[in-house]
């Protein structure tokens, strides 16, 4: 007989699959966000694709929210995840802006 104390109670067994799927989707959508954003900015894709990039960021944030909720993360981790998602939204903009400015300053 399995000692009940060995089973960690934080996460319900039925929640494991939704957690796994939501975190996989968070990864995929996060990759699409940065990839499409970058491709539009360097003109590999037309500009109409940009809203799709942001849509993928929204999907990423939602999947991470689902994942965090089902995992019952603590207050600190919840804040860290929110800050990460805001950072993830802003970072490609900051990177592109810095790249662009430096190119402008050095080539014109």
Partner 1 sequence: MASSTLNESKQLATWYFTFAFILFGAQLLFGLVAAIQYVMPGFLFEILDFSVARTLHINALVVWMVFAMFGSVYWLLPDETGIDTVGIKIGKLLYWIFVAAIAVVVLVYIFVQVGPADETTIWFIMEGREYIEAPRWADFGIVVVALGFVANLFLTGIKGKQTGIVTVLMADMIAFAGLYLAGMFFTDNISVDQYWWWWVIHLWVEATWEVFVGAIAAYGLITMIGAHRKVVEMWLWIEVAMLFGSGILGMGHHYFWIGTPEYWWEIGALFSALEPLPLVAMFVHVLYDWGKTQGAEMNAEHTDEDSVRSVIQNKPAFTWFVFNAFGNFLGAGVWGFFHTLPQVNLYTHGTQFTSAHGHLAFFGAYATILIGMMYIAVQGKNNIKVMNNTKSSIWAVSLIVGGVMGMTVALTIAGYVQVLVSRAQMGATWAGYFDGQAGMWFAQGMDWRLIMGVVTFLGFLLLAKDLLTTGKNPVHER
Where do contacts with partner 1 occur on this chain (CB under 8 A)? 2-3, 6-8, 10-11, 13, 16, 20, 23, 27, 30-31, 34, 38-39, 41-44, 71-74, 76-77, 80-81, 83-84, 87-88, 91-92, 95-96, 98-99, 102-103, 106-107
What CA–CA distance (Å, rounded) separates 72 from 50? 33
For partner 1, give the closer residue by CB, 55 or 95: 95
Instruction: Give the nearest distance from C-beta 51 to partner 1 in angstroms.
Output: 19
Residue that has been written with the tokens 């689902």 in this structure: 66
For partner 1, give the closer residue by CB, 2 or 48: 2
- Contacts of residue 90, defined as CB under 8 A and 6 or more positions apart, other chains included, come to none
User: What's the length of the chain?
Assistant: 108
For partner 1, give the closer residue by CB, 52 or 95: 95
Cα-based distances in Å from 47 to 6, 43, 50, 61, 105: 54, 8, 6, 23, 25
Instruction: Give the nearest distance from C-beta 96 to partner 1 in angstroms.
Output: 6
């Amino acid at each position: 007989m399995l000692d009940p104390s060995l089973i960690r109670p934080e996460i319900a067994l039925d929640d494991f699959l939704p957690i796994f799927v939501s975190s996989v989707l968070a990864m995929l959508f996060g990759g699409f966000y940065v990839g499409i954003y970058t491709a539009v900015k360097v003109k590999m894709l037309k500009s109409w694709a940009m809203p799709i990039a942001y849509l993928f960021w929204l999907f990423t944030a939602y999947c991470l929210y689902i994942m965090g909720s089902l995992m019952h993360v603590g207050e600190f981790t919840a804040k860290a995840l929110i800050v990460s998602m805001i950072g993830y939204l802003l970072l490609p903009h900051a990177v592109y802006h810095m790249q662009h400015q430096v190119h402008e300053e050095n080539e014109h």
